[in-house]
Structures are given as C-alpha cells and as structure tokens.
Structure 1
C-alpha cells in the first residue's frame, strides 16, 4: 500500500513539474516572439511596429514566471530583464528609426545572454552579426534580416551561432 502511495506521489510531482516547465517555456516563447517582432519591424524600417513589438516585449518580461526558474537562472533573468526594460522602453515611444535601432543594440545584447542562460527556446534561434555596425542580434530564421540597416542592407551579416531548441 505504501508503494502505491509513493508511486502516485512521484507521478504527481513529475506531472506537476512537466506542466510548470511547459508553462515557463510558453511564457518565454511569447517574450522571445515579441523580441522577434521588434527585430522584424526594424529590419523592414517600420517605426510603429517596432514600438508595438517593444511594448509586447516589456509585457512578456513582466508576465514571466521567474520563480519557476532555478536560482542561478533567476539571477541572470533579473540582470538581463533589467537591461531589456531599460533599453526597450525608449523604443516604445520613439518615432525616430535611428534612435530605435540604437536602443535595440542593447536589447539584442541582453536578449542573447538571456536566451543562452535560460535555455527555454522551443525552436532553434540564430545569432547573427553585422560587421558594419559590429553588433549581433537573434533571428528566428537562418536567413539574415538585419535590424540595424533595414532596407538599405537587409541581408548584411552572417550567422555566427545556432542556439539549439530545448
């Protein structure tokens, strides 16, 4: 009888942990998608969509269930999300594409560190680099889409790393 209760308890804990992991991964996916929305808008020179994407990114950061992460990942989340909030906030209201791109440099730097630290991406993510601005960003597809030059040099850059899906 004790074995049965023990087995039920172990199964319950396993199922609960899997559901929590799934919810955390889903929340991270929404945050990462908002980053991609911002990147894609900048790559197509769309100021309004970049602002909307940055707003969604801030909402995703605020809604993320940080307490579900292990302690070391929580610390890294705190550090990088503070950076993301600091630099994504100006993108929301900014009407100048050049200024949005300048803020996005720091957003990308923090997001790259965050994706590597928490390892919750459900698809491969590509780190891309532009030698003209000497900056990296994340992309959801392997084909280069440069958010720093947009239509002027849309495909300028290269894939420097692939972050495997979880």
Structure 2
C-alpha cells in the first residue's frame, strides 16, 4: 500500500493552519484487475498455441501461420512474475527462442518447415508451461513413440500434428500440468 501525504499551509484571519491529507491506494483495488489481465494473456498464449497445433493436424499452413503470429504477439506481451533471477533468465531465454520459432512458423508457407519448427517450439514451451498456462487449466505433453516428437495439448485425445495422414492417433500422454 502506498501512502501519499499532502501538506498545505493556510492563512486565515492572521492564523496559520497546516493541513495534512493522506491519500491511500490499496493494492487490493488494483490486484484483481491485474490478475484478470494476466489470465487473459495466458489464455491468449495457450489458445494460439492450440491454434498452431490444430492447424498442423489439418495440414492448413495459413491457419498455422496465423495462429503463430497471434502466439508470438501474445508471448511478447507477457511478463514473467515471482521468479528468482536464475528462473527469470531461463524463462526469458526460452521466450526469445520460442518467439523466434513462432515467427519462423508464421513466415513459412511450407507445412514441413512449420512442423519442424513446431517440434522445437513445443519442447521449449513445455519447460516453461507452468508460467504460461491459465489457472484451473490442465495441459498435456503428448509424444509420438515412433518418432519421439512431442507437443502440448489441452485434451488427452491424441491428434498428432506432425503425421496426421498416417499416424493421426499415434501418441501417448507423457506429462500433465
């Protein structure tokens, strides 16, 4: 809580009065709005990631690119909070790398290139997913056992974004957060 003290000197009929007023800003008034804004940012990050994944499942390069652009923008606006210096450095490095991969996905018109970048992006995203997922949201790390590639999903149902034609349902849940 911040306190501001205003002091004023008034002269009335030869008498001098000192008037002090305190203005308080309560963190309780500001915090719910900031928490709500932060949760909205987290939802945008996860939603746009799922858009990329789902775009790859249906082999739609435009949908994947559009979602990658949204993901990159949402990730850029997000600020990490309550981390140690070491955690902040790791999370910031991961964000830079993830954003660069998302930008490459957005710029690519090749579904194969988009999938290759998504493999790397998904691995790195999983390392910091706890900091990015909204409250009361469960996400799953899924893996294709035949190829070893992973992705993040908001559903236990397997829809392999890397090999949807031949191995759409090939995969298993390997993690949950």
TM-score calculated relative to the size of structure 2: 0.77
Give the structure with the higher percent helix. 1
Q: Which of 114, 121, 128 does residue 134 from structure 2 map onto?
A: 121
The offset of 1:87, in angstroms, is 1.2
The offset of 1:98, in angstroms, is 1.0
Q: Radius of gyration: which is bigger?
A: 2
* Structure 1 residues not aligned, in runs of 5+: 1-8
Give the structure with the higher percent strand. 2
Aligned 8 A contact 2:42 2:132 in 1: no
* Structure 2 residues not aligned, in runs of 5+: 1-23
The offset of 1:146, in angstroms, is 0.7
Residue 141 (str. 1) matches residue 155 (str. 2): yes
User: Residues 80-122 of structure 1: CA distance to partner in whole angstroms, max 9, x if unpaired?
Assistant: 1111122111111211111110011111011111213x16423
Q: Which of 45, 63, 88 does residue 59 from structure 2 map onto?
A: 45
TM-score calculated relative to the size of structure 1: 0.82
Q: Which of 71, 80, 85 does residue 83 from structure 2 map onto?
A: 71
CA RMSD, 1 decimal: 1.9
After superposition, where does 1:12-23 map in structure 2 within 5 Å? 12-23=26-37
Q: Could you say which residue in structure 2 is the equivalent of 1:96?
A: 110
- Mapped to 1, the partners of 2:161 and 2:45 lie a distance apart of 18
The offset of 1:15, in angstroms, is 4.2
Q: Could you say which residue in structure 1 is the equivalent of 2:168?
A: 154
Q: 1:47 to 1:120 in 2, by over 3 A?
A: closer
Aligned to 2:112, what secondary structure does the other structure show? helix
Tell me the number of residue pairs that the alignment of Structure 1 and Structure 2 aligns: 151
After superposition, where does 1:53-64 map in structure 2 within 5 Å? 53-64=67-78
Aligned to 1:142, what secondary structure does the other structure show? coil
Aligned to 1:134, what secondary structure does the other structure show? coil
- Mapped to 2, the partners of 1:58 and 1:119 lie a distance apart of 13
Aligned 8 A contact 1:42 1:50 in 2: yes
